[in-house]
């Protein structure tokens, strides 16, 4: 999950699909993680 945050810190304009490719996660995992971060 921290991997996703690191990508977003570098460029918050990446699309969920791009983040998924960069981190090896599914798009759904990326969206769930971002949603969790936003709720905190």
19-32 burial: b if 16+ Cβ within 10 Å, else e:
bbeebebeeebbee
pLDDT at 36: 96
Dihedral class, residue 24 (left if φ above 0, else alpha if ψ from -120 to 50, else beta): left
Q: Residue 35 is encoded by which pair of tokens?
A: 């949603």
pTM for this one?
0.88
Residues 30/38, Cβ–Cβ less than 8 Å? no
User: DSSP per residue over 1-40, as a string?
Assistant: -HHHHHHHHH-TT--HHHHHHHHT--HHHHHHHHHHHHH-
pLDDT at 12: 94
- Tell me the pLDDT tens digit for each residue of 1-40: 799 999 999 999 999 999 999 999 999 999 999 999 999 8
pLDDT at 9: 95
């Amino acid at each position: 999950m921290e991997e996703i945050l690191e990508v977003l810190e570098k460029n918050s304009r990446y699309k969920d699909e791009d983040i998924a490719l960069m981190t090896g996660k599914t798009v759904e995992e990326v969206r769930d993680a971002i949603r969790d971060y936003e709720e905190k």
